[in-house]
């Protein structure tokens, strides 16, 4: 006998279903217009506005049938659900509430965390994190007719994994444009191994470029990327990038690229014109670049470790391969972002490699390192390697004493000391110990601060082998040499200021909430005088390895005057209902003006070459200006003016205008005059102009234009155009760049959750 139990409109039925351990014993709440329970068959039916909820999960439909002995649920009509962080919609469905599996007909699954939609004639949840579908569509677009989608005859999806698609067709709007018999699409928030979208591009020097990366996860702390980088004119470059982060205090990033180049530049005839001025050739076909950085810390001992690797095959490699995922610019940005340390510019011919360790105490710091400098001039038979004079510091130890008081006296002591062994292929090899203590006595008075400082530099040389040019004045008879030099510095400064009232402080009233105004301006004036003295000590007999071996005499007075205007802005903020409105103050140095000049006493007494160069003890007057009143405009300028030449010898100007979320524009001008003085000679006059703008007026569109030119030679240095279109689920980017030696363009497409291709 079947016993029917009819429950009237909007009656809630609570029942328990034991499914996952987390939800075990948690009741489902069933609500509908009408509920019918068939007790003998253990069936519950619900009609109209059916809602089932349990914790965060919910199901709703026009009709539901629940088999209470198996916890199997059948739904029909206007189905929508939130199920384990996924959203489901469809016409008809069956769900196993115990095992969280089931199917849905003519439905859609939205995986919110990955922001991916799956739509199909039949969608099936086959496991806790797996789905399958027939005649389905995959997209990340929210539109009813998605701008892009992938239509597939069948597919399998693993959350935090991949979607495997059979016979997929890539569609733009409702048109199929690409077909593949099989495709794997990433559907993940965690990293997993697989091919990344390729970079493509074109350059007049290397031709068409396609770079296909493969990303491989080794474990939670390590991964690697393999690059196959094809250049139609130069060959295939193979690359490897390896990253490891065992903990928050230790991390490393290493990269290597190798190319068997089809071209060699071993004569002036086949060398590109932009390399013809350096006097160096490139006969090698095997070209490579090894680079990397490592930061390590041992909290137990307090020691930190750093590695900087930069080893390249020839002097032109980094100049030719600057762009792309395997290029110089990308690696430089990686190192800056991950380690905060830069690498040397792409045109530097001496590449430095360093291994260092350091430790600090409360008043001292120790740094030990090995520094290897690779001089590219002596590579590839350009210059004889046996005549390479490049100095290697193997090793170097620095011990520094931080400034601290000497007992209860007014004196302060700071010191630096260095021990280093200099090795080189050709030239003197020696050990050098340099000790440099300094004693100062800051005198703080009502009218300012006066700080005299006295230092003594004592240097010891222990020579292993002399190898100096015949014309050298170095004393090669004594293997042990010592040098002592004192120096003196006197610094005096003071600060004067006055605060001007601009407007009254806003009243703390509710109707004034959000009101802001400049209420005060502070004008600070800081004059400063600095005197430096180093005696003229003859040092030609000592070995020479770096600038410390030739301490130049100095007797110079530098004086400056700084003006700083600081505004205070008061804003009335909304209260909490208990305390009422409050006042928030912010400060900004919106105007800075500094004048600086030096007087050289040695130049004023000079007697050499007076017939050719007259005495000019006064330096150029430096005027430095910064204006930054708010978010709309900023201006920075440095100008050097010579009173002897009666003209500007150098200036750097940059003006930036910003209309937030609408546009920005910038203008810069760098100028350097040709100069011929006793101590300063600049043979090439330069005047570099840069104009740029970024436009965001049109919704979703961004346009960028940059123009650089040498006004002195009337040559265009760079012209570039960038166009970017951003949509909710994709972006399109076009870039064109023309320089005096090359033209490049790239087209880049980024599909949300699928990646970027192009280049």
Domain ranges of the chain: 4-191, 192-348, 690-759
What are the backbone dihedrals phi and psi of residue 15, each rounded to the nearest 5 degrees, phi first? -140, 160
Which residue, among 672, 682, 677, has the nearest Cα to 651 in the 3D structure? 672
Which residue, among 193, 168, 165, 166, has the nearest Cα to 179 in the 3D structure? 168
Residue 341: C-alpha distances to residues 288, 292, 306, 308, 333 (Å): 22, 11, 11, 9, 10
Query: Do 390 and 424 contact (CB within 8 A), yes or no?
Result: yes
Predicted confidence at residue 756, as pLDDT, reads: 62
Predicted confidence at residue 599, as pLDDT, reads: 98
Which residue, among 407, 394, 413, 300, has the nearest Cα to 354 in the 3D structure? 394
Predicted confidence at residue 39, as pLDDT, reads: 66
Apex 408 CA angle, 407 and 409, nearest 5 = 95
How far apart, in whole angstroms, are the C-alpha atoms of residue 554 and residue 560? 19
**In which residue ranges of the chain is pLDDT below 50?**
1-24
Predicted confidence at residue 2, as pLDDT, reads: 34
Residues 242-297 have pLDDT tens digits of 999 988 889 999 999 999 999 999 888 888 878 877 889 999 999 999 999 999 99
Handedness of CA 18, 22, 25, 26 (dihedral sign): negative
CB atoms within 10 A of CB 179: 11
What are the backbone dihedrals phi and psi of residue 35, each rounded to the nearest 5 degrees, phi first? -125, 130
Record the pTM.
0.74
Q: What is the b/e burial string over 40-60, where b = at least 16 CB atoms within 10 angstroms of the residue's CB?
A: eeebbbbeeebebbbeebebb
Query: Do 555 and 533 contact (CB within 8 A), yes or no?
Result: yes
Q: Which two tokens stand for residue 180?
A: 């593949």
How far apart, in whole angstroms, are the C-alpha atoms of residue 172 and residue 178? 9
* β partners of residue 275: none
3-state SS, residue 629: coil
How far apart, in whole angstroms, are the C-alpha atoms of residue 270 and residue 254? 33
Listed as own residue / partner, the contacts of 59-62 with beta carbons closer than 8 Å and 24 or more positions apart are 59/83, 59/95, 61/93
Query: Do 165 and 157 contact (CB within 8 A), yes or no?
Result: no
Where do the H-state alpha helices sit in 221-347? 317-320, 328-339
CB atoms within 10 A of CB 432: 23
3-state SS, residue 510: helix
How far apart, in whole angstroms, are the C-alpha atoms of residue 50 and residue 32? 4
Residue 186: C-alpha distances to residues 140, 146, 361, 364 (Å): 12, 19, 49, 52
How far apart, in whole angstroms, are the C-alpha atoms of residue 547 and residue 418? 14
Predicted confidence at residue 13, as pLDDT, reads: 44
How far apart, in whole angstroms, are the C-alpha atoms of residue 419 and residue 393? 10
Kindly give the pairing relationship between strand 686-695 and strand 250-260: unpaired
How far apart, in whole angstroms, are the C-alpha atoms of residue 161 and residue 182? 16
Q: Which two tokens stand for residue 643?
A: 């009173």
In angstroms, how far is CA 553 from the centroid of its own chain?
41
Predicted confidence at residue 63, as pLDDT, reads: 93
Predicted confidence at residue 224, as pLDDT, reads: 94
Query: Do 35 and 14 contact (CB within 8 A), yes or no?
Result: no
How far apart, in whole angstroms, are the C-alpha atoms of residue 185 and residue 167? 13
User: Which class is domain 4-191?
Assistant: mainly beta
Q: What is the b/e burial string over 126-154, where b = at least 16 CB atoms within 10 angstroms of the residue's CB?
A: eeeeebbbeebbbbbbeeeebbbbbbbeb
Q: Which residues contact 565 (CB under 8 A, 6 or more apart)?
A: 521, 522, 523, 524, 589, 590, 591, 592
What are the backbone dihedrals phi and psi of residue 335, each rounded to the nearest 5 degrees, phi first? -65, -40
**Residue 231 exposure: Cα atoms within 13 Å on the Cβ side:** 22
């Amino acid at each position: 006998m079947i016993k029917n139990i009819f429950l009237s409109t909007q009656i809630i039925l609570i029942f328990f279903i034991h499914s996952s351990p987390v939800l075990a014993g948690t009741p489902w709440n069933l609500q509908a217009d009408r509920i019918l329970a068939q007790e003998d068959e253990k069936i519950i039916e619900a009609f109209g506005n059916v809602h089932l909820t349990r914790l965060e999960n919910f199901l709703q439909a026009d009709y539901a049938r629940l088999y209470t002995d198996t916890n199997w649920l059948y739904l029909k009509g206007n189905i929508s659900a939130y199920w384990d962080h996924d959203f489901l919609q469809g016409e008809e469905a069956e769900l196993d509430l115990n095992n969280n599996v089931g199917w849905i007909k003519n439905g859609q699954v939205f995986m919110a965390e990955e922001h991916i939609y799956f739509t199909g004639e039949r969608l099936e949840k086959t496991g806790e994190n797996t789905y399958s579908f027939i005649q389905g569509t995959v997209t990340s677009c929210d539109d009813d007719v998605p701008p892009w989608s992938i239509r597939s005859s069948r597919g399998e999806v693993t959350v935090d994994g991949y979607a495997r698609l059979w016979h997929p067709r890539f569609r733009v709007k409702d048109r199929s444009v690409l077909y593949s018999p099989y495709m794997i699409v990433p559907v993940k928030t965690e990293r997993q191994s697989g091919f990344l979208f390729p970079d493509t591009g074109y350059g007049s020097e290397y031709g068409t470029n396609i770079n296909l990366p493969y990303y491989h996860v080794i474990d939670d702390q390590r991964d690697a990327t393999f690059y196959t980088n094809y250049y139609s004119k130069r060959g295939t470059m193979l690359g490897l990038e390896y990253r490891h982060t065992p903990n928050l205090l230790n991390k490393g990033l290493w990269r290597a690229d190798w190319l068997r180049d089809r071209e060699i530049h071993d004569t002036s005839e086949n060398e590109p014109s932009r390399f013809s001025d350096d006097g160096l050739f490139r006969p090698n076909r095997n070209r490579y670049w090894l680079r990397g950085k490592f930061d390590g810390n041992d909290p137990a001992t307090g020691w930190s470790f750093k590695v900087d690797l930069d080893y390249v095959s020839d002097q032109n490699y980094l100049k030719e391969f600057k762009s792309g995922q395997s290029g110089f610019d990308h690696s430089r940005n990686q190192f800056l972002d991950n380690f905060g340390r830069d690498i040397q510019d792409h045109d530097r011919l001496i590449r430095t490699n360093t291994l260092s360790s350091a430790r600090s105490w409360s008043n001292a710091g120790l740094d030990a390192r090995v520094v290897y400098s690779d001089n590219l001039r002596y590579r590839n038979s350009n210059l004889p390697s046996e005549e390479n004079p490049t100095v290697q510091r193997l090793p170097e130890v620095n011990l520094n004493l931080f400034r601290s008081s000497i007992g209860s006296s007014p004196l302060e002591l700071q010191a630096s000391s260095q021990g280093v062994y200099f090795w080189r292929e050709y030239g003197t090899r020696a050990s050098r110990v340099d000790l440099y203590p300094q004693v100062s006595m800051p005198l703080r008075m009502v009218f300012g601060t006066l700080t005299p400082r006295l230092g003594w530099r004592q240097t010891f040389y222990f020579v292993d082998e002399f190898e100096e040019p015949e014309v050298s004045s170095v004393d090669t008879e004594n293997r042990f040499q010592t040098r002592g030099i004192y120096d003196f510095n006197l610094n005096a400064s003071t600060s004067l200021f006055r605060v001007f009232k601009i407007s009254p402080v806003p009243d703390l009233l509710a109707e004034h909430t959000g009101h802001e105004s400049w209420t005060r301006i502070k004008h600070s004036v800081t004059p400063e005088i600095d005197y430096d003295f180093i005696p003229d000590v003859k040092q030609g007999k000592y070995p020479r390895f770096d600038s410390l071996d030739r301490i130049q005499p100095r007797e110079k007075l530098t004086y400056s005057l700084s003006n700083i205007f600081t505004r205070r802005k008061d804003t009335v903020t909304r209260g909490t209902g208990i305390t009422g409105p409050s006042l928030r103050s912010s400060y900004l140095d919106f105007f800075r003006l500094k004048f600086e000049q030096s007087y050289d006493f040695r130049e004023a007494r000079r007697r050499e070459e007076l017939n050719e160069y007259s005495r000019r003890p006064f330096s150029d007057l430096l005027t430095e200006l910064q204006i930054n009143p708010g978010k709309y405009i900023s201006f920075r300028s440095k100008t050097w003016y010579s009173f002897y030449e009666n003209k500007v010898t150098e200036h750097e100007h940059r003006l930036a205008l910003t209309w937030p979320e609408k546009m920005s524009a910038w203008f810069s001008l760098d100028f350097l005059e040709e100069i011929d003085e006793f101590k300063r000679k600049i043979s090439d006059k330069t005047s570099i102009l840069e104009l740029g703008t970024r436009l965001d007026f049109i919704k979703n569109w961004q346009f960028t234009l940059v123009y650089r030119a040498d006004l002195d030679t009337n040559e265009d240095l760079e012209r570039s155009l960038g166009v970017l279109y951003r949509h909710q689920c994709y972006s399109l980017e076009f870039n064109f760049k023309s320089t005096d030696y090359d033209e490049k363009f790239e087209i880049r497409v980024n599909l949300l959750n699928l990646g970027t291709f192009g280049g």
